[in-house]
Amino acid sequence: MLGRIFTVGGYTLLSRLTGFARDIMLAAILGAGPVADAFFVAFRLPNHFRAIFAEGAFNAAFVPAYAHVQGGKGETSAKLFSDRVFTLLFLSQVVLLALAWLFMPQLMTLLAPGFTHDDAQRNLAIALTRITFPYLLLITLVTLYGGMLNVMHRYASAAAASIFLNISMMATLAIAAFFPTVGHAAAWGVLVSGFLQYFLLAGDLATHGGLPRFAPLKLDEDIRAFFRALGPATLGSMGTQVAMFADTIIATFLPAGALSALYYADRLNQLPIGVIGIAVGTVLLPEMSRRITAHDHEGAMQAQRRAFDFTLLSGVPFVAAFLAVPDVITRAMFARGAFTKTDAAAAGATLAAYAVGLIPFVLIRSAVATFYARKDTATPVKASLTGIGVNVALKLLLMGPLAQVGLALATAIGAWINLLLVLGFAVRAGYLELNRALVQSLLRFASTGVLLAAALWLTARFAAAHLSGLTAFRDEIVLLILVLVGAVIYAGSILLLFGPRWLKTLVR
């Protein structure tokens, strides 16, 4: 399982690195003004739908169901099941795309009401979203193919697919002079990447398992069970995305640049979420589904505990860095060209607010896996809806005094409530044991995080004082020093508090 996590995490890391290159380029060319805000609305809308209905709800319902049919009824039944799901998925996405194209002005009024006072910005957002929205259809099929490949223990192509998004956008940004605006260039890059990702996954699946085909629709028991799981899974996966929707809507009422600050802070925050949280959750779900289908409940619980430990081991350094030195990170990454140091400071404050909830962000996929693997998609909904309610209420309270920082902080608090409720439900159901070893492990991770955060904060102040004479690449050099010092401090803290035997047990 750890080898598969490194496969997914490695390709996801490469995707995130190319994504940072894309965002550095985007920040330098597009900046943080009205055109940038219009593009980020166009970019986020199809991605919100994708995260709710494709990667979120669909994976949670499809992967355990497909693994169950394949393990219990054989390849022929699994092939028929995937064909019928493909047919339903394709038809529903075509209808959604047609409605979105037709009613895009009304959709923009609903989801970006703050743009109504500026006709030029609103019309630009409508035009860009019409370009990007077909990406949802393509990426939904990519998600289906990726789910099938994951059950076959083939993770590489699905994890690497998003690299094409970054490459495609950088290519169109490089020739932005040939488009009406830089926003148009970026939007066309998003759409082109959807085709590239589709062909990558379709080629892999065609070679190793066969592509799904259109099939007569029949609501047999397997399809009905899939839909019974899909409904609650959709609600369960909406937690973070509803929060992001609310961010998009509310930020359109804030001064220009708020949406851009949210976007760039979220991009940094997504690095550990994608490389660690999603990678571990992607591998853990089919692993737990397979063990539970084989009635190995203790093995499933052990796999989840190791997933928690590995996620925290990898995630704590990001929490410490984002809380201790967010301003250094955002200046070093993005403060160049049209993106000023003032813009970077706004993004840094937003990043620190997101970091308050980074632990639940990276752990939630592994936490809900114990329910999804048992085809129980209803229980996590209770936690998710509670988190959503608190999240949205706090956004409305905090948007005035804290602007976009308040939106990010509300998202973080909602994430904590969601995670704690999911863990409580798991303990009550007997799926998770909060024993002494787990509590001691959490306390040790907290201690290492505090030590690392203090070391990074002190190092940043020392480096800034001694490098004040540099006029070029000062922030980049400080960030490099922080990475090196942080790696040494964190490695030493882990060995001191956990010991080498614990590390050997984790990777064995």
Per-residue pLDDT in tens (0 to 9) along the chain, 508 residues: 677 777 777 888 888 889 888 888 888 888 767 788 888 888 877 776 666 655 566 777 777 788 778 777 778 888 888 898 899 889 988 998 899 889 988 888 877 777 767 788 888 989 999 999 999 889 889 888 988 888 788 888 888 888 999 999 999 999 999 999 999 999 999 999 999 999 999 999 998 878 889 988 787 788 888 887 777 766 666 656 666 667 777 877 777 777 788 888 988 998 888 788 878 887 888 788 888 878 888 888 888 888 888 899 999 999 999 999 999 999 998 888 778 888 889 999 999 999 999 999 999 988 988 888 887 878 888 888 888 889 889 988 998 888 889 999 999 999 999 999 999 999 998 888 877 877 888 899 999 999 999 999 999 999 988 887 777 788 889 999 999 999 999 999 998 888 888 777 776 6
Q: Is residue 339 within 8 Å of 257, Cβ to Cβ? A: no
Q: Is residue 153 within 8 Å of 1, Cβ to Cβ? A: no
Q: Residues 420, 422, 423, 424: is their CA dihedral positive or negative?
A: positive
Q: How far apart are CA 430 and CA 448, in angstroms?
A: 30
Q: How far out from the chain centre does Cα 508 lie?
A: 28
Q: Is residue 423 within 8 Å of 449, Cβ to Cβ? A: no
- Enter the DSSP assignment of 114: G
Q: How far apart are CA 476 and CA 42, in angstroms?
A: 31
Neighbours of 255 (CB within 10 A): 9
Residue from 126, 133, 125, 143 nearest 191 by CA:
133
Is residue 420 classed exposed, middle or buried when 0-12, 13-18 and 19+ CB atoms within 10 A define those classes? middle
Look-up of token digits 């099938």: 148
Q: Residue 215: helix, strand or coil by DSSP?
A: coil
Query: Which residues lie below 8 Å from residue 466, measured CB to CB, with a gap of 6+?
Result: none
Look-up of token digits 């690497």: 160
